[in-house]
Structure 1
Amino acid sequence: MKLIPFLGFNGKTHEAMAFYAQVLGGKVTSEMKYRDMPPMESQEGCGEMPPETLDHVAHSQLEVGSAILMAADGPSSEGQGGTTINIEVDSIEDAERVFNALADGGEIKMPITETFWAHRWGFLIDRYGKPWMVNCMKQP
């Protein structure tokens, strides 16, 4: 299991991650804009992105040695700027177990389901008000 900080920005992810890579001596190993993502209409709460945000970053990953930092720009209506903990697990069973345990007494924002990048992914706010994402990644 990996615990990965996930930073939320409002249109500044590309700039911020390039800065962090320079400062920390790392490398941005992946970056995807919202316009490059496949449609996610089957997921509850995932509608069309506003046109002005299509060039915002949907996912960015910075690697410094064995450490990972992830980030994305959120829809401007959500006032992004917070930090979420991303939990990366190795099996669907672990993803569902961890997600359900963290969701107990909390609020599910995106139910755990299969996505184009993960066998399972979900987003929730735990009973203490902290945001979590749970990922069981597909292999490239």
Structure 2
Amino acid sequence: MQVQPYLFFNGRAEEALAFYARAVGAQTTFLLRFGDAPEQPSSEACNWQPEQIMHANMSIGDSQIMVSDGAEPEAGFSGFSLAISAATPEEAQRLYDALAEGGQATMPLQETFWALSFGMLTDRFGVNWMVNCERPNFPG
């Protein structure tokens, strides 16, 4: 069994896919636009444009994240964070800086009792991230 996040970008999914490709090496593994669907939703059901993304999958390492433009305009990302692991403090810094571009740092990248490097941020799309470089042999 797997649990995979499904993120709704309210018309900015294509921009988000390109950003995450640059920032964390995400690869788009599937993409379906609203205009490509075999059956078009009624105009009352949604107000999305044919070129917008109905569904996409992106992989980051061994993880899959699903992405869409579909959601209510006032919908946001709250109550969760995506956690990404780095192999070294230098990689953690690179990931943190790339994800923070156009976003906001909420906890600077720093050493903690459990990590060689840990920080939190909200990216330009409002997605919360935790960047962690685990301390070797830390119990957990």
Question: Which TM bucket (shorter chain)?
Answer: 0.3 to 0.5
TM-score (norm 1): 0.47
Higher helix proportion: 1
Higher relative contact order (CA 8 A, sep 6+): 1
Higher strand proportion: 1
